[in-house]
Amino acid sequence: MAILPILKYPDARLGTKAKPVTEFNEELKQLVADMAETMYKAPGVGLAATQVDRHIRLVVIDVTEEKNDLKVLINPEIISSSEEKKTWEEGCLSLPGIYDKVDRPSEVVVKAVDLEGKEFTLTCDGLLAVCVQHEIDHLEGHVFIDHLSRLKQDRICKKIKKMRLAEKKNQEG
Ligand code: K1U
Ligand code: ZN
């Protein structure tokens, strides 16, 4: 297994729309194992293949405190969303140090296939619903700040530039 480098916003590769998975082979199993290890190590509760520069429709999620319920969603599709919305403070491993509130449907039903190519549906609420929507956004080439106002996005971009500059100064000593 391996820890994979995570693309950081505003890397243009995060804007790539992912393609469906068509081959269910050992290489895919290895990528899932590496993505799970990368997510747990970060630590995070989800990771999309886009974030590790693999532009296929694959996400891993584990929202349990015990980190013992890994969900692997291949070619996920939201087939129904509640009218009711919920506001959640989101973070993103591609935007370290940035958190903001996003409104999303509070419940979703997602259809996906597993590592054997077998179809299943998952009814999600709470953090799982937020995370599934956040990860599917990544597969579409979106990040959570795309849901915020232009003003908030501009402030976040300025904050990221400042953080990167400070990091660079630190590295230079
Ligand atoms: O896609 C990602 O970047 C992962 C992201 C998922 C997510 C978190 C919260 C709301 C929506 C989506 C993260 O995991 S950020 C890290 C994080 O929130 C967290 C880390 C450790 C424990 C609990 C949460
Ligand atoms: Zn993210």
Q: How far is the CA of 135 from the centre of ligand 2 (A)?
A: 6
pLDDT 10s digits, 113-127: 999 999 999 999 999
Q: 91: burial class by Cβ within 10 Å (0-12, 13-18, 19+)?
A: middle
pLDDT 10s digits, 8-60: 999 999 999 999 999 999 999 999 999 999 999 999 999 999 999 999 999 99
**Residue with structure tokens 């989800």?**
46
- Residue 90's φ and ψ, nearest 5 degrees, are -100, 155
**Residue with structure tokens 């269910």?**
24
pLDDT reading at 156 higher than 80 = yes
Predicted confidence at residue 116, as pLDDT, reads: 97
d(CA 138, CA 49): 8
Enter the tokens of residue 2: 């391996």
The mean pLDDT of 122-143, rounded to a whole number, is: 98
pLDDT 10s digits, 65-83: 999 999 999 999 999 999 9
**Residue with structure tokens 């000593």?**
173
* Nearest-ligand number for the alpha carbon of 99: 1
Ligand 1 lined by 133 (C-beta under 6 Å): no
The mean pLDDT of 85-95, rounded to a whole number, is: 98
Name the closest-CA residue to atom 4, ligand 1.
46
The dihedral built from the CA positions of residue 97, 102, 107 and 111, taken in this order, carries a sign that is negative
Ligand 1 lined by 94 (C-beta under 6 Å): yes
Predicted confidence at residue 1, as pLDDT, reads: 83
Name the closest-CA residue to atom 12, ligand 1.
131
State the closest ligand 1 atom to the C-alpha of 47, by its place in the atom list counted from 1. 1
With a pLDDT cut of 90, the percent of the chain lying above it is 95
* Nearest-ligand number for the alpha carbon of 59: 1
pLDDT reading at 173 higher than 80 = no
Name the closest-CA residue to atom 22, ligand 1.
44
Does this model's pTM top 0.75? yes
Ligand 1 lined by 43 (C-beta under 6 Å): yes
